[in-house]
Structure 1
C-alpha cells in the first residue's frame, strides 16, 4: 500500500504541470467512487439472477419395504447399518388373509371343475336316453309299417287274381285306408327322428355353453389364485441389489398395519444432493442444468451433477445450516443427481457451484 502511495506521488510530481493529471489528482476520491459504482453495475449485470455458490447435503435415494394390508412379521434378518447384497433375505412376513384366500380359491376351482364334469356326464346320459327312446320308437313303427306293407301287398295280389272283384268298392276302400295308415306311420317315424335329433343338438349345445361358462369362471379364479400366490412369494423380501439398511421399524412377531414402513434401505454412497438457496437471493436455475459439487473445504475432485428438481415453494433450511441457533433460514430447495461413484459421505454438507455448461446433456454430447 505504501509502495502505491509513493508511486502515485512520483507520478504527480512528474506530471503536476499537466492540467488533466492535476484535475484527476484533485478529484481522485470522487472518481474512485464513480469507478466503484460502475464496477458494481457491471458485475451485477453479468451475474444478474445468478448465485455463484450455495450449499447442500449429500443424501442417498431410499426405498421403503411395506405391504398393502395388515401383516405379521415372522422374522427380521437385518439390522440398521448392515450392508446387504443382491439375493440376501431382508424380512419374512405372514398374511393370514392371503393364506385364507388362497385356500378358498383352490376349493372353488376344484368344486367348479367337479360340477362341470358332473354336468357333462348328466347331459351325455340324457342324450343317450333320447337316442334309446328314438331307437325303441323306430323299431316299433318300423315293425308295424312292415306288417301293414305285407298285408297291403297281399291284398293287392288277391285283388289282381279275383278280377271279378276288381271293381269292388269295399276292397278298394280297404286298400286305400291301409295305404294311408302306412304313410301316417312313416310320417310319424320321420317326425320322431327329427324331434330326437333336435333334442340331442339342444343338449349338446347346452353342454358346450356350460363348459365355456365354467371354463371362463375357472380361468378368472385361476388368474386370481396366481396373483395371490405371487403376493405370497413376495412375503419373503429378498434384496435385488446392494443396499445399506437404514431403519428397521418392526420386531419378530409384531403385527403391522397396511402400508406401514417395515424396513428402510439406502444406497451405500450418496446419489443426490439437496441444495438450499436463500430466499433473499434470486436464482435463475433450470432443470437439466449442470452444477459442480465439492466438499466444504474444497478438497478432492469435484463431481458434476444435474439439477433434477426445483421446489415451487419456499422451505426451511435444515437446522444444521442455520447461521445462528433459533434463527431459521428459508429458501428454495434444489435436488441434484450425482454419480454413485463419488467421494462424499452420507449426510455430508457440500458446496454447489455453477459450471460453464448450461445443460449436462449438451456437455455429454460434446
Structure 2
C-alpha cells in the first residue's frame, strides 16, 4: 500500500479539491510469539507478486499447544460417547428391572384372581353349611391384596418414569457441560491452527522486498521485524484538510484522484475520517518553515493504478460523472 498526503485548495470545477503526494507504503511482518525461521524464499530488492511465498517458520510451543488441545478434545469426545452409552444402558437396566417387578406382581395378581374365582364358585355351596363369616373375611383379605397389587403396578411404572426423568435431566446437564468444554476447546484450537497457518507467510500485495532482518534457523523473539515489503502502487491516501474543510467528506463518499501533470485519474472512496488535528507533512506546508495543521482523511484506491511514488495529484469529491 502507499499513502497520499494532501491539503485543501479550490479545484477548477468549484468543488473543493486537495493536492496530494503519492508516498510508498511499507508493510513489516512480525509475530506475537517466538518462532524459528525454517526457510526463506526472497532476498532484499526482489520483486514479489501477491500470493508469492516469502518464508516458512515454526513454533515448538504452538505445535505442543495444538497437540495438547487435540488430546483434550479427543478425551472429551470419548467422555461424551461414554456418557451417552451409560445413559441408554441405565435406562435399559431400569426398564428391565421394572419389567421383572411388574411381571412378578402380575403373576401374584393372576394367582389371587384365580383363587378368588374358585372361591366365588365354591362360596354358594359353602353357604349352606356355614354362615359365610369366615369366607367373607378370606374374600376381604384377598380383595385388599388384589387392589394393592393393581396399584403397585401403576406405582412401579410411575417410579420408573420419574427415575427416567431424573436420569435424563442429569444426562442433559452433563452433556451440556461437556459440549460447552468441547466448544471452547474447538475455538481455541481454531485460533491455534490459524496461527500455525500464518507460519507460512505469503505476500499480501505486489511489491519489492525491503529489508530482511533474520537468517535461516534464527530464533526470532516476539514482535521483532522479520522482513519489509514496499508496495509498487499506492492503495491508501492519507489526507490532511485545513480547518475550512471540504464539503462532502463522509465515510463512503466517492472521490477522484487525478494527476497534476498528465491526463490520468482514478476513483477512490473515503474509508476513515480522523478524530484529531495533526500537523501536515513538512513538504506539504504552504510556506516553508511554517507548520500547517488539519484533520486526517483516509481514502482507498485500487492497487491497479499508474501513479508513481512521489507524484503530485489532485483529490476532489466526485460528482458521479465519469
Q: Structure 1-normalised TM-score?
A: 0.64
Q: 2:252 — aligned with what? A: none
Aligned-pair CA distance for 1:103: 1.1
Matched, 1:159 2:123: yes
Choose which of 261, 273, 277 in structure 2 pairs with 1:312.
277
- Larger relative strand fraction: 2
SS in 2 for 1:162: helix
Choose which of 87, 94, 118 in structure 2 pairs with 1:130.
94
Aligned-pair CA distance for 1:202: 2.8
**Contact 1:274 1:335 survives alignment (8 Å):** yes
Question: 1:205-255: CA deviations, max 9, x gaps?
Answer: 433443344334323322332232122112111124321112222222223
Matched, 1:221 2:178: no
What are the within-5 Å matches in structure 2 for residues 105-144 of structure 1?
Answer: 105-144=69-108
What are the within-5 Å matches in structure 2 for residues 1-366 of structure 1?
Answer: 58-165=22-129, 167-269=131-233, 286=246, 293-294=260-261, 301=262, 312-314=277-279, 317=282, 329=289, 331-332=291-292, 341-342=305-306, 344=308, 346=309, 359-362=316-319, 365=321
Cα gap change, 1:271/1:114 in structure 2, threshold over 3 Å: closer, same or farther?
closer
Aligned-pair CA distance for 1:316: 7.3
Unaligned runs of 5+ in 2: 1-8, 11-18, 250-254
SS in 1 for 2:27: strand
Cα gap change, 1:119/1:81 in structure 2, threshold over 3 Å: closer, same or farther?
same
**Contact 1:316 1:330 survives alignment (8 Å):** no
- Larger relative helix fraction: 1
Higher RCO structure (Cα 8 Å, ≥6 apart) = 2
Cα gap change, 1:336/1:197 in structure 2, threshold over 3 Å: closer, same or farther?
closer
C-alpha distance in 1, partners of 2:24/2:102? 88
Unaligned runs of 5+ in 1: 1-48, 277-281, 295-300, 322-327
**Contact 2:91 2:164 survives alignment (8 Å):** yes
C-alpha distance in 1, partners of 2:199/2:101? 66
**Contact 1:292 1:303 survives alignment (8 Å):** yes
SS in 2 for 1:185: helix
**Contact 1:57 1:275 survives alignment (8 Å):** no
Cα gap change, 1:66/1:141 in structure 2, threshold over 3 Å: closer, same or farther?
same
C-alpha distance in 1, partners of 2:239/2:99? 93
Q: Structure 2-normalised TM-score?
A: 0.72
Q: 1:23 — aligned with what? A: none
C-alpha distance in 2, partners of 1:195/1:274? 75
Aligned-pair CA distance for 1:109: 1.2
Aligned-pair CA distance for 1:335: 8.8
